[in-house]
């Protein structure tokens, strides 16, 4: 018989933790110390579940660097006490949090899985109960004393995804997330089937937490007809260090002389400019077409097939590490936590 695993559940806020007050009918966060009362099915799992909550649960739209640091520190402080970690989180910014944690938790060798719901746990048709139960099951899955999952992941509507490869694509359906550039890690049906080749293996080394993040980052989304003063303002933001430019298709942008001159001048002045495609599947192939060749020549950094969520949080992480210039570029274009597909890697879907 498998050993009962110790799982720490961390509630940050969001839809999943809401129940309806019997007197007012208003949805409000429930007491997570009473988690088993709300979900009695947990008593049937072979896991010892401990639940903690943010002192003031937040809507995930208010998620910030301080909250990521609080989560990372909580995991770090309890890393030796628990076999796995489950984070209950609002779905709107879940991909950002998962991406941030994937960089902050160094040499992770235990599961850290985020989940949430589209309907509150206090609603009859909620998707929250299944999401919590299965996430705890996955976090408890060990084979020969080794966790099956040893990375930051997101579980939602029967699918387990690599966290820094996801984005939220649907605000209404239970199937709220997609991972277009990386295979699903597991699928929950009658049994939970793990896609073993796609799972990230422990990287070795001692586990540690890097809390430092720097948010001197701006995002510029290109569109046909964008005016010069918008691009000029984006490249001249006071004290900004990174500008992420969301380009067309495989990393293409207009070739107007004023546009290229503004980017070139900003790069020469020390601004780090990153090319991320507006397309949610595929990625940047900078230099493939004439419309991106100029970007390559002037030193714009290609994000490859990274999600915008991963590109933003990775930039914050690298700035927090004190990297700049060539060292930033080298680290950004290196696959640190499974967020980037190296050209030679072939994956099964």
Task: Identify the band that residue 20 occupies on the pLDDT scale cut at 50, 70 and 90.
Answer: low
**Domains of the chain and any CATH numbers:** 5-209 (3.40.50.1170), 217-332 (3.40.50.40)
313: nearest Cα among 300, 303, 326, 301: 303
pLDDT of residue 289: 83
Give the C-alpha separation, 284 to 265, whole Å.
Answer: 22
pLDDT of residue 287: 83
Q: Is the pLDDT of residue 207 over 70?
A: yes
pLDDT of residue 344: 35
pLDDT digits (tens, 9 = 90+) for 263-321: 999 999 999 999 999 999 999 998 888 878 999 999 999 999 999 999 999 999 999 99
Query: Within the chain, how many helices (H) and strands (E) appear?
Result: 9, 20
pLDDT of residue 102: 98
Average of per-residue pLDDT across 163-169:
96
Task: Identify the band that residue 41 occupies on the pLDDT scale cut at 50, 70 and 90.
Answer: confident
pLDDT of residue 348: 41
Rounded percentage of the chain residues whose pLDDT exceeds 90: 72
Higher pLDDT, 22 or 123: 123
213: nearest Cα among 312, 311, 316, 315: 316
Q: Which residues contact 322 (CB under 8 A, 6 or more apart)?
A: none
Task: Identify the band that residue 33 occupies on the pLDDT scale cut at 50, 70 and 90.
Answer: low
Higher pLDDT, 212 or 19: 212
Average of per-residue pLDDT across 181-208:
94
Higher pLDDT, 234 or 20: 234
Higher pLDDT, 18 or 247: 247
Strands 152-156, 146-147: parallel, antiparallel or unpaired by DSSP? unpaired
Higher pLDDT, 90 or 38: 90
Task: Identify the band that residue 345 occupies on the pLDDT scale cut at 50, 70 and 90.
Answer: very low
Give the C-alpha separation, 73 to 62, whole Å.
Answer: 19
Average of per-residue pLDDT across 2-16:
87
Q: Which residues are catalytic?
A: 15
Q: What is the mean pLDDT of the chain?
A: 90
Higher pLDDT, 20 or 270: 270
Q: Where are the alpha helices (DSSP H) in the chain?
A: 35-38, 65-77, 94-104, 128-139, 228-235, 257-268, 290-298, 308-320, 325-332
Q: Is the pLDDT of residue 346 over 60?
A: no
Average of per-residue pLDDT across 218-228:
98
Rounded percentage of the chain residues whose pLDDT exceeds 70: 91
Name the most confidently modeled range: 37-41, 152-156, 172-176.
Answer: 152-156
Task: Identify the band that residue 31 occupies on the pLDDT scale cut at 50, 70 and 90.
Answer: low
pLDDT of residue 29: 65
For residue 275, what is the enclosing H or E element? strand 272-277
Neighbours of 318 (CB within 10 A): 24
Q: Is the pLDDT of residue 24 over 60?
A: yes
Angle, vertex CA 110, rays to CA 105 and CA 112, nearest 5: 65
pLDDT of residue 219: 98
Q: Is the pLDDT of residue 62 over 60?
A: yes
Q: Is the pLDDT of residue 347 over 90?
A: no
């Amino acid at each position: 018989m498998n050993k009962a695993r110790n799982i720490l559940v961390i509630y940050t806020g969001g839809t999943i933790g809401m129940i309806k007050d019997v007197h007012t009918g208003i949805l409000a966060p429930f007491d997570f110390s009473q988690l088993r009362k709300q979900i009695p099915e947990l008593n049937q799992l072979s896991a010892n579940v401990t639940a903690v909550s943010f002192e003031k649960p937040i809507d995930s739209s208010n998620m910030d660097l301080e909250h990521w640091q609080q989560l990372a520190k909580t995991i770090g402080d309890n890393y030796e006490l628990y076999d796995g970690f489950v984070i209950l989180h609002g779905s709107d910014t879940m991909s950002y949090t998962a991406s941030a944690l994937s960089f902050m938790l160094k040499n992770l060798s235990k599961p850290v899985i985020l989940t949430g719901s589209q309907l509150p746990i206090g609603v009859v048709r909620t998707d929250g109960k299944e999401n919590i139960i299965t996430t705890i099951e996955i976090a408890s899955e060990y084979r020969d004393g080794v966790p099956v999952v040893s990375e930051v992941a997101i579980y939602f509507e029967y699918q387990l995804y690599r966290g820094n490869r996801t984005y939220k694509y649907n605000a209404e359906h239970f199937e709220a997330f997609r991972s277009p550039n990386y295979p699903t890690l597991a699928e929950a049906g009658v049994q939970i089937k793990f896609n073993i080749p796609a799972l990230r293996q422990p990287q070795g080394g001692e586990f540690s937490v890097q809390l430092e993040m720097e948010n001197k980052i701006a995002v510029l989304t290109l569109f046909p007809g964008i005016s010069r003063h918008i691009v000029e303002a984006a490249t001249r933001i006071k004290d900004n260090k990174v500008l992420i430019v969301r380009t067309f298709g495989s990393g293409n942008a207009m070739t107007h002389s004023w546009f290229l001159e503004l980017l070139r001048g900003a790069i020469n002045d020390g601004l780090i400019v990153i090319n991320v495609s507006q397309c949610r599947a595929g990625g940047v192939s900078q230099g493939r077409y004439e419309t991106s060749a100029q970007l390559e020549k002037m030193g714009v950094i290609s994000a490859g097939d990274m999600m915008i969520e991963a590109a933003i949080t990775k930039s914050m992480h690298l700035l927090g590490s004190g990297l700049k210039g060539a060292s930033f570029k080298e680290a950004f274009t290196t696959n640190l936590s499974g967020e980037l597909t190296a050209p030679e890697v072939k994956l099964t879907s």
